[in-house]
Amino acid sequence: MSSSPSQRKKYKVIGTRPIRHDGADKVTGRAIYGADVRLNGTVFGRILRSPHAHAKIKAIDTSAAEKLPGVMAVTTAADFPNLKDKIANLGEGSVNLAHLSANVLAHGKALYKGHAVAAVAATSSHVADEALKLIKVDYEPLPAVTDVVQAMRDDAPLLHDDVYTNSMGKKSDKPSNVATHIHFETGRVDDAFAKADVVVQREFKTASVHQGYIEPHVATALWNEDGHLTVWTSTQGSFTARQQTAELLQIPVSQVTVVPCEIGGGFGGKIAVYLEPVAAMLSRKCGRPVKMVMNRDEVFEGTGPTPGSAMRVKLAATKDGKLVAGEAWLAYDAGAFPGGMIGPGCMCVFSCYEIPNARVDGYDVLDNKPKTQAYRAPGATQAAFACECVIDELAEKLNIDPLELRLQNAVKEGSRRVDGPTYPRIGFVETLQAAKASDHWKTPLEDPHRGRGIASGYWFNIGLKSSATASVNADGTVSLIEGSTDIGGTRASIAMQLAETLGITAEAVHPRVADTDHVGYTDVTGGSRVTFATGLAAHQVGLDIQRQMADRAAILWDCDVAKVECADGTYRANGKSMTFAELAAKLPHTGGPVVGRATVSPEGSTNGFGTHIVDVEVDPDTAKVTILRYTAIQDVGTAIHPSYVEGQMQGGAVQGIGWALNEEYFFDDSGRMQNASYLDYRMPTALDVPMIDTIIVEVPNPDHPYGVRGVGETPIVAPPAAIANAIYRATGVRMRELPMSPPKLWAAMARKPQGTTHK
Amino acid sequence: MAKKTHVAATVNGQPVEFLCEARQSLLEVLRDVLQLTGAKEGCNNGNCGACTVLLDGLPVDSCLVLGVEVDGARITTIEGVAHDAQLHPIQQCFLEDAALQCGICTPGFIMTAKALLDRNPNPSEHEIRFQLSGNLCRCTGYDKIVRAVQDSAKRMATGGTATTTAARANGSPATAAAARAK
A527-553 pLDDT, tens digit each: 999 999 999 999 999 999 999 999 999
How far apart CA B152 and CA A165 sit, in angstroms, is 58
User: What is the structure's pLDDT at B152?
Assistant: 98
CA A565 to chain CA centroid, nearest Å? 42
Do A214 and B50 count as a contact with CB atoms less than 8 A apart? yes
pLDDT class for A757, splitting at 50, 70, 90? very low
Cβ atoms A385, A720 nearer than 8 A? yes
Cβ contact B138–A267 (<8 Å): yes
Chain A nearest CA to B133, separation (Å): 5
In angstroms, the separation between the Cα of residue B9 and the nearest Cα of chain A is 20
Buried b (16+ CB within 10 A) or exposed e, A57-80: beebebeebeebebbbbbbbbebb
DSSP A563: G
A566-577 mean pLDDT: 95
For residue B176, the chain A residue with the least C-alpha distance is A19
User: If we measure between CA atoms, which residue out of A203, A281, A294, A283 comes closest to residue A738?
Assistant: A203
- Are A27 and B38 in contact (CB < 8 Å)? no
> Does B47 contact A679 at a Cβ distance shorter than 8 Å?
yes
Nearest CA in chain A to B91: A27
Separation CA B10–CA A280 (nearest Å): 39
Exposure of A692 by Cβ count < 10 A (0-12 exposed, 13-18 middle, 19+ buried)?
buried
Q: Which of B44, B101, B131 to mutate to test the interface with A (most CBs of A within 10 A)?
A: B101
User: Quick check: B169 and A2 CB within 8 A?
Assistant: yes
Rg of chain B (C-alpha set): 17
Give CA separation, A380 vs A26, A248, A428, A652, B131, in Å.
32, 30, 16, 13, 34
Segment A365-389 shows an average pLDDT of 97
* Chain A partners within 8 Å of B102 (Cβ): 213-215, 262-266, 487-488
Q: Which residue of A has its CA nearest to B136?
A: A685
d(CA A708, CA A532): 5
Cα torsion B35, A21, B161, B142 to 10°: value is 80
- Restricting to B residues 45-84, those with a Cβ less than 8 Å away from any Cβ of A are 45, 47-48, 50, 77-79, 81-82
What are the pLDDT digits (tens) for A611-666? 999 999 999 999 999 999 999 999 999 999 999 999 999 999 999 999 999 999 99
Give Cα separations from A555 to A245, A551, A573, B87 (angstroms): 49, 6, 11, 45
Q: Given this model, what pLDDT does residue B3 score?
A: 86
For residue range A233-258, what is the model confidence (pLDDT) as tens digits?
A: 999 999 999 999 999 999 999 999 99
Of A19, A29, A651, the CB nearest to B141: A651
Of B37, B101, B136, the CB nearest to A36: B37
With beta carbons under 8 A apart, name residues in chain B contacting A507.
182
Residue A752: the pLDDT is 82
Mutation for testing the B interface, residue in A2, A13, A26 having most B CBs under 10 Å: A26
Four-residue CA torsion sign, A69, A71, A73, A74: negative
Q: What is the mean pLDDT of residues A63-84?
A: 96
Per the CB < 8 A criterion, the answer to whether A640 and A535 are in contact is: yes
Tens-place pLDDT, residues A256-280: 999 999 999 999 999 999 999 999 9
- B110 sits in which H/E element: helix B106-119
Which letter, b or e, does each residue of B90-124 get, where b requires 16 or more Cβ atoms within 10 Å of its Cβ? bbbbbbbbbbbbbbbbbbbbbbbbbbbbeeeeebe
Distance from CA of B75 to the nearest CA of A (A): 15
Mutate to test the interface with A, among B28, B84, B104, B182 (most CBs of A within 10 A): B104
Strands B74-76 and B52-55: antiparallel
Closest-CA distance, A72 to chain B, in angstroms, reads: 19
Q: What percent of chain A has pLDDT over 90?
A: 94
Window B:123-162, CB contacts with A under 8 Å: 125, 128-130, 132-147
Which one-letter amino acid corresponds to residue A184? F
Length of chain A: 759
| CB proximity list for A369: less than 8 A, separation 6 or greater | A112, A146, A208, A305, A308, A333, A335, A336, A665
Q: Which residues in chain B have Cβ-Cβ distances shorter than 8 Å to A291? A: none
A90, A236 Cβ separation under 8 angstroms? no
CA–CA min distance B60, chain A (Å): 17
Report cis status (omega within 30 of 0) of the bond before A739.
yes
Q: What is the pLDDT of residue B165?
A: 72
User: Residue A409 carries which side chain, given as an amino acid letter?
Assistant: N
Would you give the distance in Å from CA A381 to the centre of its chain? 11
CA A193 to chain centre: 35
Residue of B45, B98, B182 with shortest CB distance to A296: B45
- Chain B contact set for A655 (CB, 8 A): 138, 141
Instruction: Among B40, B101, B174, select the one facing A487 at the smallest CB separation.
Output: B101
Residues in A touching B182 (Cβ below 8 Å): 19, 507
CB neighbours of residue A598 within 10 Å: 21
B182 touches chain A (CB under 8 A): yes
Across the interface, do A1 and B169 touch by the CB < 8 Å criterion? Answer: yes
Contacts of A195 (CB under 8 A, 6+ apart): A324
Chain A hits for B42, CB-CB cut-off 8 Å, are 214-216, 264, 296, 678
Cross-chain CB nearest to B82 (options A1, A28, A655): A28
Q: Which of A331, A357, A371, A348 is nearest to A110 (CA)?
A: A371
* Helix/strand/coil for A192: helix
Which residues of chain A neighbour B96 with C-beta distances below 8 Å? 19
CB contact under 8 A, B78 and A28: yes
Q: What is the largest CA-CA distance in chain B?
A: 66
DSSP annotation of A688:
G
By CB neighbour count within 10 A (0-12 exposed, 13-18 middle, 19+ buried), where does A102 fall? buried
pLDDT at B148: 98
Nearest to A345 by CA among A182, A186, A208: A182
A526 Cβ contact list (under 8 Å, min separation 6): A91, A92, A236, A237, A266, A268, A271, A374
pLDDT (tens digit, 9 = 90+) per residue, B34-53?
A: 999 999 999 999 999 999 99
Return the minimum-mean-pLDDT range out of A13-27, A93-107, A309-323, A345-359: A93-107
- The amino acid present at A754, given as its one-letter code, is Q
Distances (CA, A) of A578 to A12, A539, A558, A573, A742: 19, 21, 14, 9, 67
Predicted local distance difference test score (pLDDT) of residue A682:
96
pLDDT, tens digit, 9 for 90 and up, residues A484-520? 999 999 999 999 999 999 999 999 999 999 999 999 9
Q: From CA A295, how far away is CA A273, in angstroms rounded? A: 16
* Cβ atoms of residues A586 and A552 within 8 Å: yes
How many CB atoms are located within 10 Å of the residue A56 CB?
Answer: 13
DSSP string, A579-613: EHHHHHHTGGGTTS--EEEEEE---SB--EEEEEE
pLDDT beneath 70: ranges in chain B = 1-2, 161, 166-182
* CA distance linking residue A95 with residue A452, whole number of Å: 41
* CA A374 to chain CA centroid, nearest Å: 5
The whole-number pLDDT of residue B167 equals 63
Average pLDDT, chain A: 96
Judge whether A326 and A384 are in contact, CB under 8 Å: no
The helix or strand, by DSSP H or E, that contains position A394, with its residue range, turns out to be helix A380-398
Torsion of CA A409, A410, A412, A418, to 10 degrees: 80
Contact list in A for residue B4 (CB cut-off 8 A) is none
